Structure 1
Amino acid sequence: MEGWSPEEQGARINGWHFYWYHLFQNYYLELLEEVESLLEKDPENFHHHSLYKLLDCITKSIQDRIATNPQHKDFILGNTLGRHNRHWKRVKQGLPNRYRMFFQFNKVPEANVVIAWINDKNTLRKAGSRSDVYEVFKKMLKRGDVPNSMDELLKATKIA
């Protein structure tokens, strides 16, 4: 987690300004707290815990995958969220099985990435299930729980 903090809006990683929508930011910070607690309790073995592994995967996905190329074809969703939501990207590879992290990016006027949401253990990928990560995220977009445009996301992070 060198060079950036999930508490810092606009952290620059590989030339991209990263912003955290509150749903992602809160989840990440809670996960970080839990891992720090594990470290205090068992400094020799905390890195074997599933929470540490999840935090590590999320962090590496941001630093090593998204920050390298947010427009990589691996992030393309197609019509998974519906044809009106094709602008959303998601990280699948590099995360634990059945986890997905959703984001948007733009290059103009600045190179910005907003990480909006990552599912939790209650919304794991399970095709056909009402709690499937894609179904849950679609409903969140429809209800307005997550802003659907990059401009709205940036405003919600209080930087626009």
Structure 2
Amino acid sequence: MNWLMVSTSILMMKSATKTEKMDFPTWLNGWTIYAHPCFIDQYNALVARVEDLKHRFPDPIVFQKKKETKVLAHLLKSIANITHEPRASVYRPGDSIGKAYTDWSRAKFGGGRYRLFFRYSLESKIIVIAWVNDEGSLRTCGSKTDAYKIFGKMLDEGNPPDDWLSLLQACQNDGKEHL
């Protein structure tokens, strides 16, 4: 079964609300996964849009072809893929975020236009999902709305924090930290 079918099946079985926790596990492939509030906000907005589509297009074939449904499926697949080897070179952004932020990683999906930013601790086997861009911040090199520029500015402003312990604490203090 493909990821789009799995994600769609989960969404069709659940009724998402703004306060509901995320649909995927806190533990996957030996890693504990936390989510920063910046990611939770983006994720919940995407789930709400997909839920709306599910109600407007009850035919699963039509529903699965919608852009937001595909983005959610690719997002879930990206998180699962990260847990196989978060150190993989494919996740290293170089200095695209900024020379001060080399501890950060990112996964590309959605035709290379979306970025999922995360950090991990190999020692404690923890992954923190920090932020995913949306339609307003698609990858466009040199643009003011480029995902790397926006995320770099977020880090400059301390939300999410760049320091590992502060980042983890921000996730744990939110009350809805686990995916």
TM-score range, shorter chain: 0.7 to 0.9
Give the 3-state SS of the residue equivalent to 1:25 in structure 2. Answer: helix
Q: 1:149 aligned to 2:170? A: no
Identity %: 32
Task: Give RMSD over aligned pairs.
Answer: 2.0
Q: 1:80 aligned to 2:59? A: no
Alignment length, in residue pairs? 154
| 1:42 counterpart residue number | 57
Which shows bigger deviation, 99-108 or 38-47? 38-47
| 1:29 counterpart residue number | 44
Give the 3-state SS of the residue equivalent to 2:145 in structure 1. Answer: coil
CA distance change for structure 1 residues 112 and 11 in 2, over 3 Å: closer, same or farther?
same
| 2:177 counterpart residue number | none
> Contact (CA 8 Å) 1:61, 1:95: kept in 2 or not?
no
Q: 1:101 aligned to 2:152? A: no
> Contact (CA 8 Å) 2:42, 2:133: kept in 1 or not?
no
**Structure 2: tracts of 5 or more residues without a match:** 1-6, 11-19, 174-179
| 2:176 counterpart residue number | none
Partners in 2 of 1:144 and 1:38 — Cα distance?
34
> Contact (CA 8 Å) 1:101, 1:119: kept in 2 or not?
yes
Give the 3-state SS of the residue equivalent to 1:139 in structure 2. Answer: helix
Asked which structure has the greater RCO (Cα within 8 Å, sep 6+), the reply is 2
- Shift of residue 140, structure 1, vs aligned partner: 0.8
Partners in 2 of 1:142 and 1:7 — Cα distance?
27
Q: 1:17 aligned to 2:32? A: yes
